[in-house]
Amino acid sequence: MKTKKKIIIECKDITQKQFSNLLIELNLICKQWRPYATLELKAPNIKKILKLGTTKPRSIHSLEEF
């Protein structure tokens, strides 16, 4: 039986933008590691941050209509 391992990252003196970028990058690592291990991220508002950070922006053509 495999044991669970835990990593704790504490961020000090980090802006909200930097924190959001860190979570998005860690999420990319989790996706790349899926074949090898099940990784889980826990953070405040992580679902919202990942949703806003991984959606594609609207195309330039749709912006020109306004």
Q: How many domains does the chain have?
A: 1
Confirm whether 32 is domain-assigned.
yes
Beta carbons within 10 angstroms of residue 58's beta carbon: 8
Predicted TM-score of the model (pTM) = 0.76
More confident site: 61 or 23:
23
pLDDT digits (tens, 9 = 90+) for 22-53: 999 999 999 999 999 999 999 999 999 998 88
Residue 34, in any domain of the structure: yes
CB contact at 8 A, 46 and 24: no
- Whether 66 maps to a domain, the answer reads no
Residue 28: both structure tokens together: 């990319």
40: domain range? 16-54
Band of pLDDT at residue 64, cut at 50, 70 and 90? low
